[in-house]
């Protein structure tokens, strides 16, 4: 090969490698059923979370950060596609039916790892999947190069525990069944840290690190239960121990990022998939072992307690730590990641997420979204919308509700009868958005319908 041509090839190759090396790594961390006020950086005094707090200190903390649904699988479908999941009918949790080709993330939906692979990224998934049990929905067929996964909607934390079939299935490593060893949250943390170490110095990478903690069953190692012995309520104590374990395992990944000198150019996002649940029975009622204060409601509801979550975005190379108050949503992770990777979002469909970086950096002073929308239980179910400081709620056939979240974060004073013009404007936006959606394409297991009315802000149970 002529010397001049060889030099040209070398220069082009060098430029390509340099460009790839400059692309940020992407790490999305998702907690499962985490209460809004159950981590230190959100104000919890009862559950120390030093690793998440350290991440928050290096992040933009989005105080009006939302997910796109009040329970598990639909939120994950929206996050990985950048689209309201109502556009493609993924509005329910899929049942654990390995023979069913309908109950899962529809195959015509393009996922974030699929797009990032086109930009030269290595892609990995560790943790909970919950996007379909049939082999066609497997992570390796949805854009991930490698995975270590609990494929269902939940799993036992100890291998010798008792539970239903979905919670006892073997773990999945790259399509091969693998037995569970030790405490599951620790196992996921070790795998995520190993992925970060293994990928150091190579092509840019994307890791979707989706905990199933602190989702039920409430199970925790003795070392953490002992730490929280002062908490009298057994459910609350175990739940706190599970969050402490989650925090420890986030710390493993952050430590590995620092050790391999990848932290500076890694974009890290952290959310819960929905608000904390109210599950524990006490007498004839329910006691809340999670703390969503000062928000109203819980998992399964479209009040903010079900959809507003701890929300962090960290990128030391480009973003200064601070607080961002405009409403944002987990759908934005899709567009943000693709934009920073130098890729192109699919042009043949509506993408609802936006690139957050110009907003979080202060370069763009406008609001990222004019309106955010929620719907649960189909067209006859619950609706909500956020327009600026205003929050609209309609529960089935009940009268619409309207709250000013800047003055009433707990959604306690319904202003629908006083602010009729605001209400009409948001209702029109909801109606227009609703026309762009479809009914759920699968029913899924029984979701557990919430009560028609939720009382004001709810804290933890005693």
Which residues have a catalytic role annotated?
Answer: 72, 130
The SS3 call for residue 351 is coil
How is residue 138 written in tokens? 């497997």
How is residue 116 written in tokens? 């990032």
Q: Helices (DSSP H) in 123-233: which residue ranges?
A: 165-168, 184-199, 222-227
DSSP conformational letter for 123: E
Q: Are 75 and 28 in contact (CB under 8 A)?
A: no
The SS3 call for residue 396 is coil
455: nearest Cα among 303, 327, 318: 303
Query: Residues 6 or more apart from 400 whose CB is under 8 A from it?
Result: 392, 393, 394, 416, 423, 427
Alpha-carbon gap, residue 11 to 61, rounded angstroms: 41
Longest dimension (CA), the chain: 85
* Half-sphere exposure at residue 164, Cβ-oriented, CA atoms within 13 angstroms: 9
Alpha-carbon gap, residue 383 to 373, rounded angstroms: 8
Neighbours of 263 (CB within 10 A): 20
């Amino acid at each position: 090969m002529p010397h001049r041509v060889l030099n040209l090839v070398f220069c082009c190759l060098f430029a390509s490698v340099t460009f790839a090396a400059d692309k940020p790594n992407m790490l999305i961390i998702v907690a499962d059923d985490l209460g809004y006020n159950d981590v230190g950086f959100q104000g919890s005094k009862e559950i120390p979370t030093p690793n998440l707090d350290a991440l928050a200190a290096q992040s933009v903390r989005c105080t009006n950060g939302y997910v796109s649904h009040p329970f598990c699988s639909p939120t994950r479908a929206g996050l990985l596609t950048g689209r309201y999941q109502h556009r493609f009918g993924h509005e329910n949790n899929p049942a654990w039916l390995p023979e069913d080709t309908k109950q899962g993330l529809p195959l015509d939906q393009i996922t974030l790892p699929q797009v990032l692979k086109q930009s030269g990224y290595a892609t990995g998934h560790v943790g909970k999947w919950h996007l379909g049990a049939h082999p066609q929905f497997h992570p390796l067929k949805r854009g991930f190069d490698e995975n270590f996964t609990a494929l269902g909607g939940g799993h036992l934390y100890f291998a010798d525990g008792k539970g239903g079939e979905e919670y006892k299935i073997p773990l999945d490593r790259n399509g091969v069944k693998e037995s569970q060893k030790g405490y599951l949250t620790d196992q996921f943390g070790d795998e995520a840290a190993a992925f970060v170490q293994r990928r150091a110095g190579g092509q840019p990478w994307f890791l979707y690190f989706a905990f199933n903690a602190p989702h039920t069953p409430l199970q925790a190692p003795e070392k953490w239960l002992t730490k929280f012995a002062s908490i009298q309520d057994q459910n609350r104590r175990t739940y706190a121990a599970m969050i402490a374990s989650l925090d420890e395992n986030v710390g493993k990944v952050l430590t590995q990022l620092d050790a391999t000198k990848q932290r500076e150019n890694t974009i890290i996002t952290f959310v819960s998939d929905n608000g904390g649940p109210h599950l524990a029975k006490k007498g004839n009622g329910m006691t809340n072992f999670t703390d969503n204060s000062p928000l109203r409601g819980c998992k399964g509801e479209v009040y903010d307690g079900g959809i507003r979550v701890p929300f962090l975005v960290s990128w030391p190379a480009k973003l200064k730590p601070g607080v961002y108050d405009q409403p944002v949503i987990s759908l934005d992770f899709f567009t943000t990641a693709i934009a920073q990777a130098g890729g192109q979002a699919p042009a043949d469909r509506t993408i609802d997420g936006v690139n957050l970086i110009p907003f979080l950096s202060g370069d763009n002073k406008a609001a990222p979204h004019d309106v955010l929308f929620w719907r649960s239980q189909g067209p006859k179910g619950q609706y909500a919308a956020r327009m600026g400081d205003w929050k609209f709620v309609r529960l089935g056939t009940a009268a619409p509700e309207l709250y000013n979240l800047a003055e009433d974060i707990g959604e306690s004073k319904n202003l629908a009868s006083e602010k009729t013009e605001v209400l009409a404007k948001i209702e029109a936006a909801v109606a227009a958005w609703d026309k762009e959606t479809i009914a759920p394409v699968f029913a899924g297991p029984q979701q557990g319908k919430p009560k028609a009315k939720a009382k004001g802000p709810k804290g933890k149970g005693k």
